[in-house]
Amino acid sequence: MKVKLLLLLALIPTFWALTRPGYFPMHDDIQGMRVLQMHKCVLDFQLPCRWVPDMGYGYGYPQFNYYAPLPYYFMEGFVIAGNPILDTVKVGFAASLILSAYSMYLLASYVWGKKGGFISAIFYSYAPYRAVDIYVRGAMGEAWAFVFLPLVLLFSLRILDGKKAVLPFALSVAGLLLSHNISIVMFAPFCVLFVFTLRRFNIDSLKRLSVGAFWGLSLSAFFVFPAFLEKNLVHVDTILAGYFNFLAHFVGIRQLLFSTHWGYGSSSLGPLDGMSLSVGLWHWAVPALSLLVLLLLKKYSELRLALIFVIFGGLALLLIHPRSQIIWNNLDILSFVQFPWRFLMVAVLFFSLAAGSVGVLLARYSKLIILSLLFLLILFNASYFFPKAYVDIDDRARFSGNNWMLQQTISIFDYLPKSAKFPPSSEAPDKPFATEGEVTIVDGLKGTNWQRWNVIVHSGESEIAFPLYNFPTWEAKIDGKKAEVFESGDLGLVTLEVSNGVHEVSLVLRDTLVRTSANVATILALLAIPVVLYNNKKKLW
């Protein structure tokens, strides 16, 4: 308990800047908007949230059908409790720092003991890239991925050691997929290699690892399968081209290992990036020194483990270096990673884990020596954990006027349905309109993924367009009877043909077969949890 409290105290410099009033600019400056949209979904009982109503310049789009939702469900709990949205975003970032430190502590303690766990947790928390993710990029999903990476390894190890860990392993896999699904593309090969490198597995443990991985995938199926299988329904090409093309974001050895540059700019081609892309001087130098000392002391068991972690960290750095371009060119799925330097996540994980081996070397020495070493690390790196500036702004100002327009249009091409040839140039109208004939919109209601309007059609057959992109599957009804939906205009808006007279016209976004099947898979996986817990007296689940 004392160690965990001390760890929390040691983490304060990483999130202290998040406790002050106001808000701070970041690259992905749309976190508050995403929280607001999730809040509207929850209040509207659209669960799971898929379609958000205000983004895409008010035409809405399927944000959480493709963007990992777990951190936003977490933050929604604070919004429901009455906290301001902008403050909740800061809570989300702070929680990712605290939870990830404890998850690394659990993993490294299992490998090295409590002293090693404490050291690894501090290294993990104070890596420069952790500060980049939060205070420069504002990458909420990636910040939360750091929570689950150590847990996946921890419960893999426990399964290999014949202990009950299939359920927590499944939950960790699901947590990673639901926080930052692209992380699994980067991390899975390392995790598999990790399991086979340790050579402690047998058929039973491999079976339980496979069951846990499948269970975790099923728990996250409601999001993972639509995100993958329905990517052809949106303009995913826009998140792979231009600035997001991986060819522009490789990083050289000098930057990765020796640079102490800090900035709040962006990544660019060449060595003049505006932000830090270093794994951290301390983060590779300390493990390297530890390897040397372990070798001299002939502690071969600990040396082997630490060496495996250092090699894995080095492999992750290799995938960031321009020399790895041949791998990126031949593995199409890597293009969705966008930035090779995202592999700093994996490098930081393994180098921090390797740093825990210092705890073995100092096991007989005073705790004061360990704390002094960690104090130096914190002293050198704590200055990174501050935003460039703070803005005196609250929710009302953030979500009104020009600020509201900016929030509606940031990343407007991301997940834009294929029905739209290009993004809108002006805000969506607040009600349907006639594209053919003469129509009066009397009144109506609309929610996050539904609309209902009373209309009067004054001329024969008329066409009414809704300010919504066409996307599978909008279900339309006219006076309670299903009507055919088609799209119109360059924006591909949902359009209906309505006859002369007074009518009630309604729309609701229904799930496709993929989404429905994925929802069922998640429900079944959730129902399996109490069943397994009830029957878990003998089996190693």
The one-letter code for the residue type at 131 is: A
Output the pLDDT for position 213: 96
Cβ-contact 327, 334 below 8 angstroms: yes
Output the pLDDT for position 88: 97
Q: Which residue has the tokens 């001087």?
A: 281
132 vs 143: CA distance, rounded Å: 10
| Residue-by-residue pLDDT tens, the chain, 541 positions | 688 898 999 999 999 999 999 999 999 999 999 999 999 999 999 999 999 999 999 999 999 999 999 999 999 999 999 999 999 999 999 999 999 999 999 999 999 999 999 999 999 999 999 999 999 999 999 999 999 999 999 999 999 988 889 999 999 999 999 999 999 999 999 999 988 887 666 888 889 999 999 999 999 999 999 999 999 999 887 777 778 888 899 999 999 999 999 999 998 888 888 999 999 999 999 999 999 999 998 888 899 999 999 999 999 999 999 999 999 999 989 998 999 999 999 999 999 999 999 988 876 666 777 778 888 999 999 999 999 999 999 999 999 999 999 999 988 888 899 999 888 989 999 999 999 999 999 999 999 999 999 999 998 889 999 999 999 999 999 999 999 999 999 999 999 999 999 999 999 999 999 999 999 999 999 999 998 887 775 555 5
Nearest to 118 by CA among 264, 282, 3, 285: 3
106 vs 143: CA distance, rounded Å: 18
Output the pLDDT for position 534: 79
Output the pLDDT for position 198: 76
Question: What's the order of all strands across the beta sheet hosting 439-446?
Answer: 439-446, 450-457, 501-509, 474-478, 481-483
481 vs 324: CA distance, rounded Å: 58
The one-letter code for the residue type at 355 is: A
What DSSP character marks residue 427?
P
198 vs 164: CA distance, rounded Å: 19
Cβ-contact 345, 139 below 8 angstroms: no
Output the pLDDT for position 446: 94
Helix (H, G, I), strand (E, B) or coil at 465: strand
541 vs 532: CA distance, rounded Å: 7
Question: Each residue of 44-72: pLDDT tens digit?
Answer: 999 999 999 999 999 999 999 999 999 99
What DSSP character marks residue 391?
B
Output the pLDDT for position 1: 65
Output the pLDDT for position 413: 81
490 vs 467: CA distance, rounded Å: 12
Q: Which tokens sit at 99?
A: 């939870």
119 vs 302: CA distance, rounded Å: 15
406 vs 408: CA distance, rounded Å: 5
Nearest to 377 by CA among 442, 269, 280: 280
- Cα-atom radius of gyration of the chain, to the nearest Å? 26
Output the pLDDT for position 345: 97
Contacts of 113 (CB under 8 A, 6+ apart): 359, 360, 363
